[in-house]
Structure 1
């Protein structure tokens, strides 16, 4: 099982790269992986491989291709600064079109694979918005998406799950509680961990929280991608 870069086209004509990986056998469903602010780097490709090993056909789009192609940033202060700047440059409407193109690709032909999205950091907010805006998604999962707080009034149109860390200074607990009050149908889990707890490339990696969140995510995907 190995992945490859493919090129897709959004409905506005924008062409972008996406990391594509299939399971060994026929896929059970499709999955879009929305990247952190660091691009589709080694960690995100490993995450994609992990989901492919669970039977999913996975696409991880380079959401920064609208501003700069092939972004792969380091986990340091410069990487964070560049990632944030690129995020501002691409905005949110374009990435929604890119996610939509991935969903259309995964749901192609007679297979019509049920398709979900899982996003991390920046991608967590992408997943949250996609649940409200992108047609064809069967479910969405977002990890510690700080920018979700800018879209508190977005209404998911598919089953949605969110993971947060109680030590994450960028997402105060009172904001998570407000989000939960506004969206009682959304499954929200809070862990004794910090921002970025899922990435073993980051100082804030928390194995226990990452393992439990993954278990919950896999159960959620299995329940809704049928």
Structure 2
């Protein structure tokens, strides 16, 4: 369901919240692609809720065009919104979502896709979370200027022109502690609503992700 959250700067935004099935073992903030809080992302939230996670998806585009969900075949609209977004404001909204999920003492992880995958790396540097997962995170070079404060796992395609091999190799060299997996796939290989979907790669990436998240959310219990 959608709820309203407020960031520390006073901005109110929509946030999709999916309650864990059974007893919650922790929280997971999912950071959107350039398409907004899509039905596909909500389906991902439900998938992770079945694993015992309370999930939140903040609507990062609410700062520019509240309620915006961009069709997958109109990426240029989302691209312009992303380019106009400010990282500090994005982080404020993600932080508010983390704080919402942490009520009751639960630890929280962050997972992002595409644009959100890059922001997940920044979250691993500056937010009070347990771990972060980046699915084909873009704009990585923007986030390679601070150390990682928590464990990071990344999933990338070897045919992804958004994340060239040289850039990914630079990222791995800078952050050797990050757990990086590369698949025979292109960009957005885990989005089953797009032609780029690669079922085997997506399923394996999600299996690895849930093991990683559960490990780091429960190791302090």
TM-score (norm 1): 0.94
Alignment-derived partner of residue 68 in structure 2:
71
Residue 101 (structure 2) aligned to one of 102, 106, 112: 106
Alignment-derived partner of residue 181 in structure 1:
173
Tell me by how many angstroms 1:13 deviates.
Answer: 0.5
Alignment partner of 1:207 is 2:204: no
Residue 79 (structure 2) aligned to one of 77, 84, 107: 84
Look up the SS of the partner of 1:153 in the other structure.
Answer: coil
Tell me by how many angstroms 1:7 deviates.
Answer: 0.4
Partner Cα distance (1:160, 1:63) in 2: 22
Residue 5 (structure 1) aligned to one of 2, 15, 35: 2
Write the deviation string for residues 143-172 of structure 1: whole angstroms up to 9, x where unpaired.
111211322223221111111100001211
Alignment partner of 1:52 is 2:52: no
- Number of aligned pairs? 218
Partner Cα distance (1:146, 1:24) in 2: 31
Partner Cα distance (2:100, 2:143) in 1: 27
Query: Is residue 114–residue 137 contact of structure 2 (8 Å, CA) maintained in 1?
Result: yes
Tell me by how many angstroms 1:129 deviates.
Answer: 0.9
Alignment-derived partner of residue 191 in structure 1:
183
Partner Cα distance (1:9, 1:87) in 2: 20
Return 5+ residue gaps in structure 2 as ranges: none
Write the deviation string for residues 92-130 of structure 1: whole angstroms up to 9, x where unpaired.
11010011001111111xx21010011001110111111
More divergent stretch after superposition (154-163 vs 213-222): 154-163
Tell me by how many angstroms 1:26 deviates.
Answer: 2.1
Return 5+ residue gaps in structure 1 as ranges: none
Look up the SS of the partner of 2:16 in the other structure.
Answer: strand
Query: Is residue 21–residue 51 contact of structure 2 (8 Å, CA) maintained in 1?
Result: no
Runs (4+) of structure 1 exceeding 4 A deviation are none
Alignment partner of 1:36 is 2:33: yes
Residue 122 (structure 1) aligned to one of 112, 115, 118: 115
Residue 217 (structure 1) aligned to one of 185, 209, 214: 209
Write the deviation string for residues 25-45 of structure 1: whole angstroms up to 9, x where unpaired.
221100000011000010010
